[in-house]
Structure 1
Amino acid sequence: MKIINVAKIQTNQNPHGVDARKIFETEHVQVVHILLKPGEHLKKHSTAVDVVFYILEGEGIVEIGDEKQKVSKDMLIDSPKDIPHCLFNESTDIFRVLVVKTPKPTDMQNKRAISSMLNTE
């Protein structure tokens, strides 16, 4: 049995400038814990793999393509590959989200996603 304490995982540097921790990874899946403080958000970007967001705590806004929806704890949101998406915390409390990417993106796919994100700023 493998047990991972999320609080003990160091945050990964990322172009969003938010607390994002890769908490689990195999050749098939990647799981990231994101904590957005009040006023923080991700930069709009696309991924070359399917993504599922599971809201752990708080309320926020999820934008996928042309749709925006307020979401809260215990909601699951499907974000298909190649569709631009973003998370926003417009509340006064923290917004914690579990991000599941499947299949696990390759290093090249990650580099392309970051490059396209930086080129649209």
Structure 2
Amino acid sequence: MKIVELSKAPEKENSHNVIAKELYDTEQTQVVHLELKPGEALKLHKTPMNVLFYVLEGEGIVVIGDEEESVSRDMLIESPKGIPHLLRNESEGLFRFLVVKLKE
């Protein structure tokens, strides 16, 4: 059994300059915890694999391709590989979510 405590997980450097902690990484899957403070956002980018976002806390905006939606706690968002996407926090509170990369 492997248990990872968020507070002890290593921070992962990223081009978005946000708090990211790697929770899990294998050949098939990667799970990263991201925190966006008010006004922070991920840069528009593409990934070479399908990605899932699971909102843990707060509210944010998700843009995938030409679609834009408000999301909040306990929502799961699918982002297909190769499609530009971003998440941003336009709220007054913290926006926390898991990023699950499904490697091929």
Local SS of the residue matching 1:7: helix
Residue of structure 1 in register with 2:47 after alignment: 47
Residue of structure 1 in register with 2:57 after alignment: 57
1: distance between equivalents of 2:77 and 2:17? 23
Residue of structure 2 in register with 1:93 after alignment: 93
Local SS of the residue matching 1:22: strand
Residue of structure 2 in register with 1:69 after alignment: 69
> When you count helix as a share of all residues, which structure comes out higher?
1
Aligned-pair CA distance for 1:79: 0.2
Percent identity, aligned pairs only, is: 57
Residue of structure 1 in register with 2:8 after alignment: 8
> When you count strand as a share of all residues, which structure comes out higher?
2
Local SS of the residue matching 2:45: coil
| Largest Rg, 1 or 2 | 1
RMSD: 0.9
The number of aligned residues is: 104
2: distance between equivalents of 1:41 and 1:87? 6
Aligned-pair CA distance for 1:10: 2.6
Unaligned runs of 5+ in 2: none
Please identify runs of 4+ aligned residues in structure 1 that moved more than 2 A. Answer: none
2: distance between equivalents of 1:95 and 1:45? 19
